[in-house]
Amino acid sequence: MKKILVFASGSKTGGGSGFGELVEHTKTGLLPADIVAVVSSHPEGGVFQIAQEYGVPFEYFPGPYEAEGYQKLVAKYSPDLIALSGWLKLAKGLDPTKTINIHPGPLPLFGGQGMYGHFVHESVIDSYKKGLIMESAVTMHFVTDEYDKGPVIFRYPVLIREDDTAETLAARVNEKERAWQWYITKLVLTGEISWDGQNPKSLLVPQGYPFL
């Protein structure tokens, strides 16, 4: 069974829904993997509670968020894949060929430092009101040492409605995140989506793949 190490920040009071979805899909067998641990930047909260509920080993990672700290965690669990699911810190020193992230907005326009959660949705709504865009998106990408810079492997558009607020848009985007994250994670885990970690043109996806 292949192994996944999840990084999920969550918050002091909640969060971790994406991590929870991944766990549930491993338990149903749709995601053929074992989540060997989840790492959070909060000692308790949503991610910790979900880990306790499902019996997943929990690691509190308070920083510093440098390559050495990340690499120690990877060495401890030897995962086949690293999944960042709501991880709000800059990931450094991870293997870019087997590290993926999910982002709640279109990349590259709505990415980079400070662009996470409600900040993304507020910026997207602002651009919509200015007539610059008509839709948001759930995006997944391979991870490099820069925020949101690795090649995109999944883009699922979410139409913006006239009466949308950042909160209502966030709810629909999050719904799509939970629905699709496990599937794209599976495609990377099985090698159907791959990247050599250097050349963006080396990205491989299944024939007829409709999400780019």
**Which tokens sit at 51?**
């880990």
Distance CA 169, CA 126 (A): 12
196 C-beta neighbours (distance < 10 Å), count: 13
**Which tokens sit at 78?**
């030897």
Q: What are phi and psi of 189, to 5 degrees?
A: -60, -35
Helices (H), 90-165: 118-129
25, 42, 103, 121: the catalytic one is 103
Distance CA 191, CA 154 (A): 15
103 is catalytic: yes
Question: Is there a contact between 22 and 99 (Cβ–Cβ < 8 Å)?
Answer: no
Write out the catalytic residue numbers.
Answer: 103
